[in-house]
Structure 1
Amino acid sequence: MGTLVYSMNVSLDGYVADSQGEFASWARPDEQVLAAINEETSAVDTYLLGRRMYEMMAVWETDPAIIGQSPESTQFAQIWQSANKVVYSRTLETVHTSRTQLRSRFNPAEVAQIKADVSGNVTVDGPTLAAEAIRHGLVDRIDVLLCPVVVGGGLRFLPDHRLELALRHEQRFDNGMIQLRYDVTTAPSAKVQP
């Protein structure tokens, strides 16, 4: 059985993007951080993505300039391309990356089955889609790459749900970022079984 992980780069005040939708200037990992991300994502079997996150991440298969930025970027692209991807969107009609399926809506029972069928990690990427998975009690772990910036508002990392967490890992990086890994110890009662 796989582990469902919600993982994102987050400002110190809990946002994944500021009020203008900006994150690239403050959430971009350097090579040291990207090496740690690569180590963690090498265990990912399946990515669950909303439309916006999919469109942003697709460059790791479609843009040679992004892929070739550095050795760590190339490795991340290889990891991302080799994983399965499920994209949830009501507006996309097709997807343009390999190993990618398109769904019109989030189905908790299907996600529970995906978790049951894999031995690696399943990641849910993006706060809107993650909120759905959290509401249904599907998220097993939350990984935070804490960025040394306060943005003052924007798109929140976590929904308004109580979760009890246990810290399992922390790593500090030279650029001031901190990687935190928490197991979800108490989730919403609506846990979905496959």
Structure 2
Amino acid sequence: MRKLTFGMNLSLDGYIAAPGDDIGWGVPSDELFQWWSDRVETTGLTLYGRRLWETMSSAWPTADQRPGATPAQIEFAGRWRDVPKVVFSSTAIAVDWNARLVTTGDAATEIARLKAEDGGPLDVGGATLAAAAMRAGLIDEYAIVTHPVLVGGGTPCFPALDSWVNLNLTETRTFPGGALLTRYETRH
């Protein structure tokens, strides 16, 4: 069974985006950016909800070709293009960049099927898609990077749940600028 990780940046007050889908508060330090890049390198398959897919696919496919792209951005862009992706959406009509589209059915059922396949670890991104996986008890690890900012509203990181999810802390790490990584494994 493949391991499923939910990795996300969030504000101290628990939001992944401020009102208006503003994520400008989550600009990573070079060290944190490298940490995210290394995660992409070791991921076997990334699962995206539509909104996060639109954000990522509008920035990373050609980021390495922009004037002034840093070596880290060039590296991340290549890694991002290379990792296979599944996009879950009932409204998107096409995807590209090494991705396939899932438009119908229950997301949790499809995620469970993907977990049962052979292959490397899975990452899930996007609040709505991750919420479906959380509610179904499919997430094995949470890798949360909390940024030292209060945004006062927006898109919450965690949904209302029907039951508690008990976790074991496996790692903490502070990055320049005060962002704090906390990694937890789900207690089954």
Displacement of 1:64 in angstroms is 4.2
Displacement of 1:185 in angstroms is 1.1
In structure 1, the residue matched to 2:181 is 179
What's the RMSD between the two structures over aligned residues?
A: 1.8
Displacement of 1:66 in angstroms is 5.8
Distance in 1, Cα, partners of 2:99 & 2:40: 17
Displacement of 1:63 in angstroms is 4.1
Amino acid in structure 1 at the alignment position of 2:54: E
1:36-88 CA distance string (max 9 Å, x none)? 11222221111111111111111211444569621111221122111111111
Distance in 2, Cα, partners of 1:68 & 1:4: 35
Residues 71/159 of structure 1: CA separation in 2 closer, same or farther (3 Å cut)? same
1:21-45 CA distance string (max 9 Å, x none)? 2112x10112111111122222111
Contact conserved, 1:171 with 1:179, CA < 8 A, in 2? yes
Contact conserved, 1:45 with 1:122, CA < 8 A, in 2? yes
Distance in 1, Cα, partners of 2:102 & 2:68: 30
**Aligned length, in residue pairs:** 184
Distance in 1, Cα, partners of 2:121 & 2:141: 10
1:140-186 CA distance string (max 9 Å, x none)? 11111110101111110011122111110111112111111111114
Contact conserved, 2:64 with 2:78, CA < 8 A, in 1? no
In structure 1, the residue matched to 2:165 is 163
TM-score for both structures, normalised by structure 2: 0.90
Contact conserved, 1:49 with 1:124, CA < 8 A, in 2? yes
1:83-115 CA distance string (max 9 Å, x none)? 111111111111132x21111134333322211
> Within the alignment, does 1:35 sit opposite 2:34 as a pair?
yes
Contact conserved, 1:48 with 1:124, CA < 8 A, in 2? yes
3-state SS of paired residue (1:76): helix
Residues 156/166 of structure 1: CA separation in 2 closer, same or farther (3 Å cut)? same
Contact conserved, 2:7 with 2:143, CA < 8 A, in 1? yes
Structure 2 residues without counterparts, runs of 5 or longer = none
3-state SS of paired residue (1:20): helix
Distance in 2, Cα, partners of 1:178 & 1:120: 26
In structure 2, the residue matched to 1:3 is 3
Amino acid in structure 1 at the alignment position of 2:70: S
In structure 1, the residue matched to 2:48 is 49
Identical-pair percentage:
33
Contact conserved, 2:142 with 2:184, CA < 8 A, in 1? yes
Distance in 1, Cα, partners of 2:144 & 2:109: 26
Distance in 2, Cα, partners of 1:101 & 1:149: 35
Contact conserved, 1:11 with 1:148, CA < 8 A, in 2? yes
Equivalent residue runs for 1:1-194 within 5 Å: 1-24=1-24, 26-58=25-57, 59-64=59-64, 69-97=69-97, 99-105=98-104, 106-161=106-161, 162-186=164-188
Structure 1 residues without counterparts, runs of 5 or longer = 187-194
